[in-house]
Chain A
């Protein structure tokens, strides 16, 4: 059974949603306290959404130095899968496990609403259940989600096909406003070079159960259980 560790920081508030979504697809999911130093037998680590350390200084800046993050760094360095959702994405950027940073939304307001994103990369541990070009409707809930990076970093991300999710413009059947935060290149989520570490601003765990009216995010969880935990990581081709 796939072992999924969900890290709980002081101020995490989507940790139980992540556990529930992982359990719904047949994984064994458990919480790990941020002061712990051991991820136990985790195949996958999820850094959940929330407001770790009250977003003091910068979102994710203090959580990055929590004791458990050393274990997460090791896990990632060994090719282990890590998914950062919202505050988890911010922590991954602050930890330099992903490039760039997440700044205050361009319109300064906290945005909590469904958005439309397109899946651009499907060979990651968390997106293999989708097809390239799939449009998903998933909620966002953040005040600091404007992804920025140096120009050469952005060029690299695009050249290597490391944009996992991108906000898409409205169409006739999807009248939602595009890009809720003003992120560079409309980026909603990226991955590391090998596709094992993924950070996204939208909340797939909040769109993973028919009871909430939308299951577009479920694929993030079915993807991770579809991959056998012991199998070697697929070599990711640059696109």
Chain B
């Protein structure tokens, strides 16, 4: 079986996110004053061959811990979708 894994990597809450601040400022300048607390992260998608969605998620978690996210500064969320 193959699963499509969606990984969302976000800067850890509390850490300065200058990209988020810059985007928020630009939104405000465009008249979107209702936008607040903007954070900018990274989305990664990949196929994982695994016998079950649980196993696909376990493998994806290992990939995140080792490479895709920096445990010092980032948190990640996983979404596993059947192909």
Residues in chain A within 8 A of chain B (CB atoms): 57-58, 61-62, 65, 93-94, 99-101, 103-108, 146, 148-150, 182
Contacts and interface: CB of A to CB of B under 8 A. Distances in A.
A65 B68 CA distance: 13
Contact of A65 (B67, B70, B73): B67
Interface stretch (B15-23, B29-37, B47-55, B75-83): B15-23
Contacts of A57: 67-68
The 6 A-B pairs at the shortest CB distance, nearest first, are namely A101-B72, A101-B73, A108-B18, A106-B18, A101-B70, A58-B70
Contacts of A58: 70
Q: How large is the interface on B (under 10, 10 to 19, 20 to 34, 35 or more residues)?
A: 10 to 19
Tell me which of A94, A101, A107 has the highest count of chain B C-beta atoms within 10 A of its own C-beta.
A101
Nearest to A60: B70
B72 A149 contact: yes
B17 to A, nearest CB: 9
B67 A61 contact: yes
A99 B71 CA distance: 11
A108 B19 contact: yes
B39 to A, nearest CB: 13
A104 B19 contact: yes
A148 B15 contact: yes
Residues of B contacting A: mostly: mixed
Contacts of B19: 104, 108
Contacts, number: 35
B70 A61 contact: yes
Residues of A contacting B: mostly: loop
A106 B70 contact: no
Interface of B: 11, 15-16, 18-19, 22, 67-68, 70, 72-73
B22 A148 contact: no
A209 to B, nearest CB: 35
Contacts of B72: 93, 99-101, 148-150
A99 B73 CA distance: 11
Given A100-B72, A101-B72, A106 B22 contact: no
5 contacts: A65-B67, A93-B72, A101-B73, A103-B73, A106-B16
Nearest to A64: B67
Contact of A105 (B15, B18, B67): B18
A182 B17 CA distance: 12
Contacts of A62: 67
B82 to A, nearest CB: 27
B18 A107 contact: yes
Nearest to B15: A148
Contacts of A65: 67
Contacts of A61: 67, 70
B30 to A, nearest CB: 18
A20 B67 CA distance: 33
Nearest to B11: A103
A61 B74 CA distance: 13
A182 B70 contact: no
Contacts of B11: 103
